[in-house]
Chain A
């Protein structure tokens, strides 16, 4: 199935949930509404013509100037059909939660935990939503958000260092 056919098929089945489909550099990226995400993913996973059985990665992008600030990105691949698709959805900062896809792809467990850890997006029905790379008691926020400073929050300057040259 070519990318165009794939997009058309999605368009037919989810006329209301689909926001846009973009093809760039030979890749298809489909943006769906947040409340239809699980439904679309289920269709991609179960439909025999789609057959996306392999989850490649779950990622997130922060767009601080947009109304719906965060973008959750899923990438799926079909090992039998040899095609791939990128599924995206937008989440506002005030209600930072999407449906978890762990019931469809088992690998989504760790990947979604990483997104939660790094970007602070929560996943509904996730079996074990905890921080994964950062310590459990880390309270300084979510490091991959654009408002998280790259060079730390200045607490390093509060330490008093011995001036070796003064002696």
Chain B
């Protein structure tokens, strides 16, 4: 009996050690990528649409170390959770990819559109399937660059004497461009995943289908590395970050406000969707919209150049890697605004609501933690995470899947709650909780994945 107990204890110890070894096992990296067009057909466009400016896509990178398989994917716009759930269930069954091991992030472009949900699900599945088929032995590199195209957009406007949306050149704004790059063992480029914190809002008033600057940068990078190469944009913590040069949108808003005022309607502190109500025969409107189209091209090229430069300067690659993926949930005290309606410049009033549950994700590819948050996170939350993470190439991707039918919405950092701007006013999170719980939650995921 005593011998039996000793044998059982030994077996348990062995199992624990084996489990530990299993969890942090290294293996030959394999990677594959694909992209699939998800642009709606002309007859699927809304009645207010002005057509297709450029194509929208789902892009997928899958990778494995022989033990674990995971992925990073994006879709132009926001991720559709029902599509994600359906795709995850199917790929788990067919390819053994556990649910939650792929982080899907939306590029969050404000002018996108896709095929209907069922068709989108099928195309997302096809993208994953193709990436799976394309997997080859690979190596991975990582690097950081900088890009000065984003800016804090919560501005205390001394002329209005209140808060407003505008470029705060002195505001906190992380300029980091984080880049992961995969190539085959014989040096053939496979894919890149790059993270930058800037709202994809440049072409939002055109009412045309477009991938905005993320799509333009992806295409630009892809044209450098060949037809099979896939560049996946990942939106960093851009809740409070606009493109620095965004005056066209402000000018168009002013024109629209004046047009509405002539008809007796005050929209000076509101925001009709897209370009609704704009007189496109107005030459000034035409000029501003053409500048927006060109701006998406310019931003795409400049951001793309920085990504290419970071890739070019990579010298160290890993091919024998660890790979972990995990998800967790946090809950934060919620609030509901009781005096909504205005876009900015007034004190919000709130009542308490139930806690908000937020999903956090991690794909830890060797020493690169890609952290996911299913909401629109303020920039300084990602900066705090990066500062506290033991890993230099920690990145936070936002607007990800995992919101369980709800939506994470804007998540201000604690310091920013005094800003009377639409993101803060409309946020469902009470001050003092979300920042800490997101940062701690992600650090815990990183710790668990590595220890």
State whether these chains interact. Answer: no
B residues within 8 Å of A by Cβ? none
A residues within 8 Å of B by Cβ? none
